[in-house]
Amino acid sequence: MKIDILSLFPEMFDGFLNTSIIKRAIDSQIVEVNIHDFRKFADNKHKKVDDYPYGGGQGMVLMCQPIVDCLKTITTSKSFVILMSPQGQTLKQSISVQLSKYEHIVIICGHYEGFDERIRDYVDMEISIGDYILTGGELASMVVCDSIIRLLDGTIREISHEDDSFSEGLLEYPQYTRPYEYDGNCVPDILLSGHHENIRKWRLKQSLLKTYHKRPDLLQNKELTKEELKILQEIKEND
């Protein structure tokens, strides 16, 4: 996969691209990530990329010319262009999985008060990472990239992300490691039983229990199996 990111602050990505799993994926040529300073594409003497909004108003608006000209140098018919925007779809695991299938993704990071509306004519999807405002799209784009790259073959073991929270529409079950007992708190004995089916059932129940208490909204949109419906009913009766 190839990822191109348009930003006014390329230096913000230095740590992100040179640390941990993301760096290993790049070094292993699983993914190629390029950062483009779209200020270099401004066609005015002072390399200005923003201006006051027509009609008045507070703040500055990014001009379409530098961004669109930058896009034209890197996009092809196979490119999928994403605009980081608080007006976009909220990022979910299902969206990350969908995006991980593309050969080439381009992400546009904004700054200032907003974008010239005409930039949206060159965009395939708008994504938000939550209902709040950041100073720019750089941090949000890193979140999107991380959520995609970890899904690519070879980045991490596939089994490691198959049970992630949201992968099956539920929060992940509790995880434990050594020591068995710490500060009077012990690992549930069922996890040491070696009985795989009982462990699976316990994990499913715990996953439903966490989701019911922490994110009940997820259950409204999930098509539950007969087993899950039965367990959820027991949880509600005992709550």
Residues marked active site are found at 86, 113, 150, 164
CA distance 204 to 97: 22
CA distance 60 to 43: 18
DSSP, residue by residue, 136-166: BSHHHHHHHHHHHHTTSBTTB-HHHHHTSTT
Instruction: State the residue for tokens 């909220």.
Output: 90
Cis peptide before 179 (omega within 30 of 0): yes
Strand partners, 115: 62
CB 119 within 8 Å of CB 88:
no
- What the block records as the tokens of 41 is 């594409």
CA distance 227 to 235: 12
Closest CA to 155 of 19, 25, 16, 17: 25
Residue 222's CB is within 10 A of a number of other CB atoms, namely 14
- What the block records as the tokens of 209 is 């229990």
